């Protein structure tokens, strides 16, 4: 593992303003999450050397009206002004929520533009990955969809093959709706089985439509899946898809909430698997995308596991050493889990590979 080549740096998008939200004391997304993560990677020495701190620029009103309806934007503004109402049942409103959404999503676009310009090789944002927001609604702790905004910004800059590698444990239902018929965007999503996991979609048969058929890939896992079956599915699917697509830019959501300590999900992976996936995405970016890689932290609701995951991915991007404590999931993959995962992998191959012409 080596630092980014050609003297270019890794950006860590950061502002103390990331803490200016208030979903309530009992909400899984709590104040202190981002400062804790910043302190962890800083104390671990992961913000040294080639790493630059990048100030986020809030998402512009012009971009917002491209990714969301005027009616929805008006609704968020009203909630933001009064502090009354909710984005969705799981996403309470608070005063300033509109401006907060602009900042937390703008962090993603700030990083994307820095990388696209060549000033950075990679970036990581401890916020972002708000993949549940749709054109006319929010929810799932998401106000605005920064992934959709980032893709549109990249298209404006002339990028034609954009990979969204989404390993968040919850399916990115919002992002899927924007690009379901678009072959310029490949979305690979690994997530927990939608039968029992929010947002209860992201089925294997949902492979895109029209010219985008085959470019929307959903691989889901039964609860209690561990590193072994996860790595099997990854190795069977992801390299073939990425090598076929040869992306020009990669947006990567690592899936910190798939960790076995996460209270909102039921997968049992460790940071060893997070490192494995991150290392592949880093190498793929240097192979196909001239190093252009953006990491959006997305979910992760156990503070300790979130910090371990963030440190692990940042160490991959920078080449700086970081090792989280040894982790021991409560059990290993059993034969029933293996049978389900093998079957799901084959179903994905049968649905997607012929549509793309992958043998």
How far is Cα 142 from Cα 148, in angstroms, rounded to an integer? 12
Phi first, then psi, for residue 213 (nearest 5°) are -65, 125
Residues facing residue 216 across a β-bridge: 187
Q: Which has the closest alpha carbon to 188: 158, 224, 147? A: 147
User: In 208-355, at which residue ranges do the beta strands (DSSP E only) sit?
Assistant: 216-221, 249-253, 293-296
Phi first, then psi, for residue 121 (nearest 5°) are -90, -45
132 catalytic, yes or no?
A: yes
Q: Which has the closest alpha carbon to 322: 334, 337, 335, 310? A: 310
* Residue where the block lists tokens 């990028």: 159
Catalytic residue among 122, 131, 132, 170: 132
**Rounded CA Rg of the chain:** 19
3-state helix, strand, coil in the chain (%, to 5): 45, 15, 40
Task: Provide the edge-to-edge strand list for the sheet that holds 9-13.
Answer: 51-54, 9-13, 120-125, 293-296, 249-253, 162-166, 185-192, 216-221
How far is Cα 8 from Cα 299, in angstroms, rounded to an integer? 28
How far is Cα 193 from Cα 169, in angstroms, rounded to an integer? 9
Active site residues: 132
């Amino acid at each position: 593992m080596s630092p980014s080549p050609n003297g270019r740096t890794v950006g860590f998008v950061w502002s103390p303003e990331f803490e200016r939200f208030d979903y309530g004391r009992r909400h899984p997304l709590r104040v202190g999450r981002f400062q804790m993560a910043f302190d962890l990677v800083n104390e671990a020495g992961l913000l040294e050397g080639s790493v630059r701190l990048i100030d986020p620029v809030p998402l512009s009103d012009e971009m917002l009206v491209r990714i969301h309806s005027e009616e929805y934007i008006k609704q968020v503004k009203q909630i933001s002004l009064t502090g009354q109402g909710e984005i969705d049942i799981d996403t309470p409103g608070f005063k300033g929520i509109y401006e907060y959404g602009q900042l937390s999503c703008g962090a993603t676009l700030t990083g994307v533009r820095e990388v696209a310009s060549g000033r950075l090789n990679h970036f990581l944002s401890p916020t972002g990955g708000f993949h549940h927001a749709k054109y006319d609604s929010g929810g799932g702790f998401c106000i605005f969809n920064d992934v959709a905004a980032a893709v549109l910004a990249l298209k404006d800059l002339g990028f034609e093959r954009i990979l969204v590698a989404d390993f968040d444990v919850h399916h990115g239902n919002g992002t899927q709706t924007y690009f379901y018929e678009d072959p310029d965007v490949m979305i690979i999503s690994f997530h927990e089985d939608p039968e029992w996991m929010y947002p209860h979609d992201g089925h294997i048969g949902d492979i895109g439509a029209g010219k985008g058929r085959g470019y929307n890939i959903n691989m889901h896992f039964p609860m209690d899946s561990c590193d072994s079956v996860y790595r099997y599915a990854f190795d069977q699917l992801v390299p073939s898809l990425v090598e076929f697509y040869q992306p020009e830019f990669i947006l990567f959501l690592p899936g910190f909430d798939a960790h076995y300590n996460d209270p909102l999900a039921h997968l049992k992976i460790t940071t060893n698997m997070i490192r494995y996936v991150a290392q592949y995405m880093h190498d793929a970016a240097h192979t196909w995308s001239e190093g252009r890689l953006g990491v959006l932290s997305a979910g992760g609701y156990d503070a300790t596991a979130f910090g371990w995951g963030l440190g692990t991915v940042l160490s991959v991007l920078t080449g700086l050493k970081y090792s989280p404590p040894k982790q021991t999931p409560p059990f290993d993959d059993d034969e029933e889990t293996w049978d389900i995962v093998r079957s799901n992998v084959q179903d994905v191959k049968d649905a997607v590979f012929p549509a793309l012409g992958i043998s």
